[in-house]
Structure 1
């Protein structure tokens, strides 16, 4: 099952990019044997300043056709890492070829796009900068693959 991150903003070189690249490389290596991955990152930018609605249109266009879509949103469901791993397994085993995660910009995800998503996931009740959410999602993808592979990375 291919995984696509549809995100607002361009990530420049720096510590966030290094972390994301490292975790996504680990996920691709670990997930391959499990039928998970590779990961494709699709960055969009609203250069005209149209706000959340314009970002939503760009994100919609970046989504793979027929993908299950999960929004990263503070109103989403809180999950443990093993529950997140089980969700990935369920999507894969249900025959989904594509799974997409949507990360909005500084103002979040437009309500119409959020309503179209199959699920919403939260990394806590606090609001996180969207660039840090990318890092946290990349790490959780790798952690999920490690859990499913029986690797010792996850020690809970």
Structure 2
């Protein structure tokens, strides 16, 4: 099952980018034998200043046809890491070919795109910078693959 992280904004070189790349590499390595991955990052940028609606249109183009859409949103479901791992495993076992995790810009995700989502995930009641959410998601993807593989990374 291919993973697509579709996000507004470009993550430049720096510690966040290094962490993102490291966790996605770990996820790809750990997930390969579990039919999880590869993971890819698709970044979009609204250079014309069209707001959330314009960002949503760009994100829609980045989401593969037929992909399960999971938004990262403060109104989403808060899950434990093992529950998230189970959810990924369930989507894989249901035959999903692609899962797109959608991360909005500074103002969030356009309501029309949120309404199209199959699932919505929250990293808690606090609002996180959208650049950090990529890193947090990539770490949780790696943690989920490690949990499903029975590896030692996650210690409950």
Report SS of the residue matched to 1:33. Answer: helix
Give the C-alpha shift of residue 90 in structure 1: 0.6
Q: CA RMSD for the aligned pairs? A: 0.4
Q: Which whole-Å deviations, capped at 9, do the CAs of 1:100-151 have from their partners, x for residues lacking one?
A: 1000000000000000000100000000000000000000000000000000
TM-score (norm. length: structure 2): 0.99
Distance 2:97 2:108 in 1: 27
Q: Write out aligned runs for 1:85-124 (5 A).
A: 85-124=85-124
Aligned to 1:41: 41
Report SS of the residue matched to 1:71. Answer: strand
Q: Structure 1: any 5+ residue segments left out of the alignment? A: none
Q: Structure 2: any 5+ residue segments left out of the alignment? A: none
Runs ≥4 residues deviating over 3 A: none
TM-score (norm. length: structure 1): 0.99
Q: How many residues are treated as equivalent by the alignment?
A: 156
Give the C-alpha shift of residue 47 in structure 1: 0.2
Aligned to 1:64: 64
Distance 1:130 1:86 in 2: 25
| Pair 1:32 & 2:32 matched | yes
Aligned to 1:13: 13
Report SS of the residue matched to 1:124. Answer: coil
Aligned to 1:133: 133
Distance 1:42 1:20 in 2: 13
